[in-house]
Amino acid sequence: MIGFVSHADSLSNKFEFPYFMRTCGTTAMWGKSFAAVCHKFRWDHVGYLYETTTAGTSAFQAAADCGSARGIQVEGYDFDVDSDTAKSQRSGWSGAMRLAGESGLRAFGVAFSTLTAPVALELAREENMNNRLLLPWEFVSMWSVLSPDLRGSFNGMLGISEVQSTPPYSDYMAQVWHSMTMEELEPLGVPRRWVQNIRTTDPSLFQQSPFFMNHAQLVDAITAAMIAFGQVSTQQPEALGDRLTLGTALREALYSVAFDGASGRVSYPPVAAGRGGDREITPCSLYEADAGELVQVGSVHDFQVSFHKPPSFPDGQGLAWHYKMPAACQSDEVTEMSEAWGPTCVKCPITFAEQCVPVPVSVALLAMLLCLIPVAAYGWMLHQRHEDKAWLVKGKELKFSDPPEQLGRGTFGFVVKAEYRGTAVAVKRGIPPN
């Protein structure tokens, strides 16, 4: 079996699924791609909306694990799905979406099937979450089932999808498909119970397009099977007569397959530690919703994100930091604003009483201090002048007797008695040189 839409990581277990291979990526790959985008824009706290199917839960867990390895906290919001009918329980979903909306988070990963995605996005719109950034996986497939009204409500939504293309030879494959009948399935090896089920549930199967989703991956799965069968039929023709031998031979041939397919390079590394059957490289594209249409804006591979067209995001301004949680800085850090990354925490340059003093406050305090220095100096000078005045004696306030009473005499002057403000004082007078 070669899967083209089967993403569960458990399918890589070759002890349980020895004959399963795939041309699509794994949920671990999706988680890694989501974490890579968050890391690119420095989002360290994001949400994840997912349905509780095996695929949805695996996608969230992969995103949480890959995010944690990069210091990104991924907060999950699960939406219960009835496993028998695969239909959402709308009332319960409303509550989960409301909780997500009230979380304050501004960027969310999204993992819903094509069946449940329209319901999830309708609820997201009701909670005004279409102004947040939603990053769906399998974006192209999800987008294809949305109504024009919903598409127009999520302008700027950025999503991840595996590389998609439509090679010319897929038209021939479609022609062969449309020419088939139900009677041909059983001779080709399809179990009878499967044929009966198809007749009942989807009688017009061959009138529909075979490429309902993951067009490129399906084409590559068919191509890989044809190449492997061609190798076995020419190199091990004896295996064609033994079903068990043929299965083993085909599996070994598939591991040697290597070609440039519709979804990129298709090749398979050997089984290691009991795991295998996954592509060596699964390139992904980044798409953005723009006026109801999807526009490819970049790519992501092996934790490397590149953009050939800057995304505009729901704010229309392309400011990634609008979708970042407000920075919760430590006591020794300060919030600093940058045009590219918005508010970020940086080490505090000045601390006082074990508390951070922001740079603007520090500059203001320094400026005030510089202004106070000359004021203080001037005040000190005035004070000194006032102190000095207490020792300054005005001559007109001295009263002498007539003639002055001499109290003593020296080489350079003499001392006479006087009265100063009612107090008897001695006044020394110098003797002129001549």
Q: Write the pLDDT tens digit of every residue in 204-259.
A: 989 888 876 778 888 999 999 999 999 999 998 888 888 788 888 999 999 999 99
The whole-angstrom separation of Cα 353 and Cα 211 is 67
pLDDT at 124 over 90: yes
pLDDT at 86 over 50: no
- Strand pairing report for 133-136 and 107-111: parallel
- Strand pairing report for 133-136 and 304-307: unpaired
The whole-angstrom separation of Cα 200 and Cα 212 is 20
The per-residue pLDDT for 343 is 64
Contacts 24+ apart (CB under 8 A), 298-303: 300/33, 300/36, 300/37, 300/160, 302/32, 303/32, 303/35, 303/36, 303/39
pLDDT at 62 over 50: yes
Q: How confident is the model at residue 361 (pLDDT cuts 50, 70, 90)?
A: low
CB 107 within 8 A of CB 135: yes
The per-residue pLDDT for 88 is 46
The whole-angstrom separation of Cα 167 and Cα 417 is 126
pLDDT at 383 over 80: no
pLDDT at 148 over 70: yes
CA distances from 207 to 92, 147, 169, 175, 222 (A): 37, 23, 19, 10, 19
The whole-angstrom separation of Cα 153 and Cα 249 is 51
The whole-angstrom separation of Cα 371 and Cα 359 is 18
Contacts 24+ apart (CB under 8 A), 81-86: 81/51, 81/52, 81/53, 81/56, 81/116, 83/53, 86/53, 86/113, 86/115, 86/116
Q: Please write the tens of the pLDDT for every residue from 20-43.
A: 999 988 888 888 899 999 999 989
User: Any idea what the Cα angle at residue 285 is, between residues 37 and 110, rounded to 5°?
Assistant: 55
Q: How confident is the model at residue 181 (pLDDT cuts 50, 70, 90)?
A: very high
Tell me what the mean pLDDT of segment 380-401 comes to: 78
Q: How confident is the model at residue 372 (pLDDT cuts 50, 70, 90)?
A: confident
CA 247 to chain centre: 44
The per-residue pLDDT for 390 is 67
Global pTM value? 0.68
The whole-angstrom separation of Cα 247 and Cα 85 is 34
The per-residue pLDDT for 352 is 63
SS (H, E, C) the chain: CEECCCCCHHHHECCCCCCCEECCCCHHHHHHHHHHHHHHCCCCEEEEEEECCHHHHHHHHHHHHHHHHCCCEEEEEEECECCCCCCECHHHHHHHHHHHHHCCCCEEEEECCCCCHHHHHHHHHHCCHHHCEEEECCHHHHHHCCCHHHHHHCCCCEEEEECCCCCCHHHHHHHHHHHCCHHHCHHHCCCHHHHHHHHHHCCCHHHCCCCCCCHHHHHHHHHHHHHHHHHHHHHCHHHHHCHHHHHHHHHHHHHCCEEEECCEEEECCCCECCECCCCCCCCEEEEEEECCEEEEEEEEECCEEEECCCCCCCCCCCCHHHHCCCCCCCCCEEEEEECCCEEEEEECCCEECCEECCHHHHHHHHHHHHHHHHHHHHHHHHHHHHHHHCCCCCHHHEEECCCCCEEEECCCEEEEEEEECCEEEEEEEECCCC
Closest CA to 141 of 76, 55, 251: 55
pLDDT at 196 over 60: yes
pLDDT at 5 over 60: yes
| Both tokens assigned to 355 | 């508390």
392-402 exposure pattern, b = at least 16 Cβ within 10 A, e = fewer: eeeeeeeeeee
pLDDT at 51 over 80: yes
Tell me what the mean pLDDT of segment 387-396 comes to: 76
The whole-angstrom separation of Cα 52 and Cα 188 is 35
pLDDT at 267 over 50: yes
Closest CA to 64 of 79, 83, 78, 53: 78
Closest CA to 325 of 105, 91, 140, 173: 105
